[in-house]
Amino acid sequence: MMPARPLPKGAQPFVGFGRLLRGFGHGAAPEQVESFMEAVSLLGPRSMEDIRQAAIATFAPPPERFMEFEVLFRSHFYGEAAVTVSDDADEEETQVKDEGRSCEEHIEIRAHDESGERSSTAEQLAVRHFARAPETALDGFGRHLAKALPRRRTFRHLRVRSRGRIDLRRSLREIVRFDGDIPEPILRRRQVVPRRLLVLIDISGSMKLHTEDYLKVAHAAVQGVGMAEVFTFGTRLTRITPALRIRNRDQALTRAAECVDDWDGGTRIGPTLLAFLSVPRFASFARGAAVLVLSDGLERGDHAEMEIAMRRLSSRAHRLSLCTPLAGDPHFRPETAGLQAILPALDDLVDGSSTAELTRFMLSLGRPARPAAEIWQRAT
C-alpha cells in the first residue's frame, strides 16, 4: 500500500475552512471540500471575492445561517471579525487586526489626547512613541516566568527511571527481546508542560500612564515563554505578538506602536473582548490558558457586554486575572457596577499599578489562590 501524499501547502487553507465549518455545525462533506478547491482552481482566482463565491456555491449555506457563514469565512481567510455594538449615539463596529497579517496599513491620526485623563466609548486614533529603556530591566523576569506558570499534563509520555507507571507494551517487547527475562520494568509518565499565557492590554486614555510598562512586561513574557500571546484593546482589538517576538525591546515596541491604531482613545472593554472571542483562532488562545487582563475595568455605559465577555473568558481559561492599577490604592474596593458584575468570573483581582507588582503576581501564577470574589467580599 502506497503512503498517502502530503497535502499541498496551498490547499491547506481551503481544507481548513471545511473543517472549521464542520466544527460549527455546517454541512461540509469531503466531496464539497474537493468541489470547493476545484471551483477555486477554475476561477483563477483573481480576487478573494472569487473564493467567497466558490465557497457559497459549493457549501450552499442555508439562508438562516448565511450571516454566520460570512463571519466564519472572514475570520478564516482574513483573520478578522466584526461585532456590532450599540452605543448611545449610533452603531459602530469593533475592528479586529492581526499584526502578523495587516501591519503595513497607513495609520490616520484623527486626534491625540495628551492628558490621558478621559476615557469614553468614542473612537480616537493616535500613535505612540516609547522611550528607550535598559535591556536588562526585565531579563530575570523573562527567564523565570516559564517555570512559574501553571502546568498541565499532555497526552505524551516520557520514559522515566522512577515514580512512573509500567509501560506494558515496551516492557513486553523487552521480555521477548531477552527471551523471557527483563533487567528492570520500563516506566513512563505523562509529560508536563507550562500552560499558554494570554495577555490583553487596555490601551485606552485612562491607562496611558501604564501602557508602556505593560508592553515592556509583555515583551519580556513573549521572549521567555514560547506559548504566549499578546493583544491590545481600546476601541479596536490588535494582535501584537509577532512584533513582540523581536528580541530587541526598543525595536519590538516601535513595531508594535506602528501597528496599533487606537492608542489613548476610548474604552470598549466588553465589545473588544467579545470581538476577540468571536474569532475562532483567537478564542483558541484562551483555552486552558492563564489569561491576564491589564485594565482599570472602568467600562463606560452599559457593562452587560463586559460581564458576558468575562464569563466566556473564564469558562475557557484555566485562570482569569484582572490586574488593575486602581488596586494600588490601599482604599480601593471593587464597588463600581462593572467590577461587581465581573467579580464572580475572576480568579484574581490584583494590583497592576507598577512593573514590580505585576511581575511579582505573574511569577506566582503557578501557586493556588483563593477566588477574587471571596477575598474582596471579605475586604468590603
Question: Is-above-0.85 flag for pTM?
Answer: no
Tell me the average pLDDT across 167-188. 75
Q: Is residue 294 part of a domain?
A: yes
Q: For residue 380, what pLDDT is reported?
A: 53
| High-pLDDT (> 70) share of the chain, % | 82
Q: For residue 99, what pLDDT is reported?
A: 60
Q: Is residue 282 part of a domain?
A: yes
Please tell me whether residues 227 and 279 are part of one structural domain.
yes
CATH number of 226's domain: 3.40.50.410
Please tell me whether residues 130 and 98 are part of one structural domain.
yes
Please tell me whether residues 299 and 372 are part of one structural domain.
yes
| High-pLDDT (> 90) share of the chain, % | 31
Of 109 and 231, more confident: 231
- Which of 78-92, 103-117, 187-201, 332-346 shows the lowest mean pLDDT across its residues? 103-117
Whether the per-residue pLDDT at 202 is higher than 60: the answer is: yes
Neighbour tally for 329: CB within 10 Å: 10
Q: For residue 372, what pLDDT is reported?
A: 86
Under the banding of pLDDT at 50, 70 and 90, the label for residue 229 is very high
Please tell me whether residues 41 and 184 are part of one structural domain.
no
Please tell me whether residues 114 and 30 are part of one structural domain.
no
Q: For residue 106, what pLDDT is reported?
A: 36
Please tell me whether residues 165 and 218 are part of one structural domain.
no
Under the banding of pLDDT at 50, 70 and 90, the label for residue 176 is confident
Under the banding of pLDDT at 50, 70 and 90, the label for residue 314 is very high
Of 47 and 215, more confident: 215
Out of 167, 191, 215, a domain closes at 191
Please tell me whether residues 125 and 170 are part of one structural domain.
no
Q: Is residue 125 part of a domain?
A: yes
Q: Is residue 86 part of a domain?
A: no
Please tell me whether residues 42 and 73 are part of one structural domain.
yes
Please tell me whether residues 260 and 161 are part of one structural domain.
no
Tell me the average pLDDT across 239-243. 93
pLDDT digits (tens, 9 = 90+) for 53-93: 989 999 888 887 888 888 888 888 877 554 443 344 344 56
User: Structural domain tally of the chain?
Assistant: 3
Out of 77, 102, 131, a domain closes at 77
Q: For residue 127, what pLDDT is reported?
A: 53
Tell me the average pLDDT across 275-298. 91
Please tell me whether residues 271 and 179 are part of one structural domain.
no
Tell me the average pLDDT across 289-312. 90
Q: Is residue 165 part of a domain?
A: yes
pLDDT digits (tens, 9 = 90+) for 318-350: 999 999 999 988 889 998 889 999 999 999 999
User: Taking all residues of the chain, what is their mean pLDDT, rounded to a whole number?
Assistant: 80
Of 283 and 167, more confident: 283
- Which of 148-152, 208-212, 214-218 shows the lowest mean pLDDT across its residues? 148-152
Q: Is residue 1 part of a domain?
A: no
Q: For residue 292, what pLDDT is reported?
A: 96
Under the banding of pLDDT at 50, 70 and 90, the label for residue 290 is very high
- Exposed/middle/buried for 213, CB within 10 Å: 0-12, 13-18, 19+? buried
Under the banding of pLDDT at 50, 70 and 90, the label for residue 200 is very high
Matching residue, cell 512593573: 355
Q: For residue 141, what pLDDT is reported?
A: 87
Out of 51, 77, 103, a domain closes at 77
Please tell me whether residues 113 and 224 are part of one structural domain.
yes
Neighbour tally for 106: CB within 10 Å: 5
pLDDT digits (tens, 9 = 90+) for 315-324: 999 999 999 9
Q: Is residue 84 part of a domain?
A: no
Whether the per-residue pLDDT at 23 is higher than 60: the answer is: yes
> Which H, E and C letters describe the chain, residue by residue?
CCCCCCCCHHHHHHHHHHHHHHHCCCCCCHHHHHHHHHHHHHHCCCCHHHHHHHHHHHHCCCHHHHHHHHHHHHHHHCCCCEEEEECCCCEEEEEEEEHHHHCCCCCCCCCCCCCCCCCCCCCCCECCCCCCCCCCCCHHHHHHHHHHCCEEEEEEEEEECCCCEECHHHHHHHHHHCCCCCCCCCEEEEEEEECCEEEEEECCHHHHHHHHHHHHHHHHHHHHCCCEEEEEECCCEEECHHHHCCCCHHHHHHHHHHHCCECCCCCCHHHHHHHHHHCHHHHHHHCCCEEEEECCCCCCCCCHHHHHHHHHHHHHCCEEEEEEHHHHCCCCCCCCHHHHHHHHHCCEEEECCCHHHHHHHHCCCCCCCCCHHHHHHHHC
pLDDT digits (tens, 9 = 90+) for 30-44: 888 888 888 888 887
Q: Is residue 87 part of a domain?
A: no
Please tell me whether residues 162 and 255 are part of one structural domain.
no
Q: For residue 89, what pLDDT is reported?
A: 37
Domain that holds residue 13: 9-77
